[in-house]
Structure formats: C-alpha cells, structure tokens
Amino acid sequence: MVVSIVMGSSSDWPTMKKAKDILVKFGVEVRTEVVSAHRTPIKMVEYAQCAKDKGIDVIIAGAGGAAHLPGMIASMTHVPVIGVPIQSKSLSGLDSLYSIVQMPGGVPVATMAIGEAGATNAGLFAAKILSLSNPELYEKLSVYTKELEQKVEDMQDDLK
C-alpha cells in the first residue's frame, strides 16, 4: 500500500502534512514529492506516467492558485487522484477549489475541502480506497470511526 503525496510547491507542505499524518497513523507507506505543473512540467509528466510502475496505489495532489497539478496528473494515469485545494492569500483557496473540482467528464479527480481539513480527508479517503483490499486497514478505519463517535459523546457529557 503506497500513497504518493505531491504538491506544487514546498510551501504547500504544512497543509499536505495533514494527509501524511493520517496515513502514517494507519500504517500506510507515504512518499512525498514537489512536482509543479507549471514550473516542472516534464517532471510532472514522467511522475504521472510512471506512477503505477513505481508501485503507487493512490495519489494525493495538493495545489494552489491555478491548481492544475491534480487534473494534469489524472489525465496521464489510471491511479486514483485525490485533489486538495491549498488555501491561498488572494482568494482563500476558492480559485484552487474551482480549478480542481471542475474537471471535464472523463478525467476524474476526487476533490476535498480547502486547506488542512481537505488534506486530512484526502488521507482518510486514500486509506478507505486501500482498505477495500486490506482487511487489517479496514479494521483500523472502523476503530478510528468509533473513536470519533466517542469524542462526540464525551463532548455531549461535558455539556451536562
């Protein structure tokens, strides 16, 4: 089980680290790399076209601004791609969200929320994809869900 986390810039790392953290919690191997659709397009093409051969099962791609990285990668591989819009200063990440979510029919990118919540959910979604063929991971996700439920119950008890 290998998930690759790519981002357009190293400045995206504080957000994308949330995806890595959740995957590591579940024991999933994570590879990280900076791959820019605009500044290193040849590297991006090679990365996308060789992803399956390198043993990558799911790709999480974070991008800000024009946010072409997730869609461009998805157009060149059959490995599932999950897009994370990075929160930007100029438009608070809405530009990134629109760029990632508005893919043309035939080139799917699973798109998460803007920012850290989206990165966390991208890690969880990747784990869920992998859990379909890994019963141990599926069980870890079940335990995680029960822990979330318990946290809500504990919050309710605190209100009394």
pLDDT digits (tens, 9 = 90+) for 120-147: 999 999 999 999 999 999 999 999 999 9
Residue carrying structure tokens 């629109």: 98
Q: Is the pLDDT confidence value at 90 over 90?
A: no
Quick check: pTM over 0.85? Answer: yes
Q: Is 12 annotated as a binding residue?
A: yes
User: How many of the other CB atoms lie within 10 Å of CB of 122?
Assistant: 29
Q: Is 158 annotated as a binding residue?
A: no
Q: Which amino acid is at 21?
A: D
Q: Is the pLDDT confidence value at 160 over 80?
A: no
Would you state the structure tokens that stand for residue 125, as one six-digit string?
């979604």
- Residues paired with residue 110 on neighbouring β-strands, in sequence order: 82
pLDDT digits (tens, 9 = 90+) for 15-45: 999 999 999 999 999 999 999 999 999 999 9
pLDDT digits (tens, 9 = 90+) for 104-122: 999 999 999 999 999 999 9
Fold of 2-134: Rossmann fold (3.40.50)
User: How many of the other CB atoms lie within 10 Å of CB of 152?
Assistant: 9
Would you state the structure tokens that stand for residue 122, as one six-digit string?
């991208």
Q: Is 9 annotated as a binding residue?
A: yes
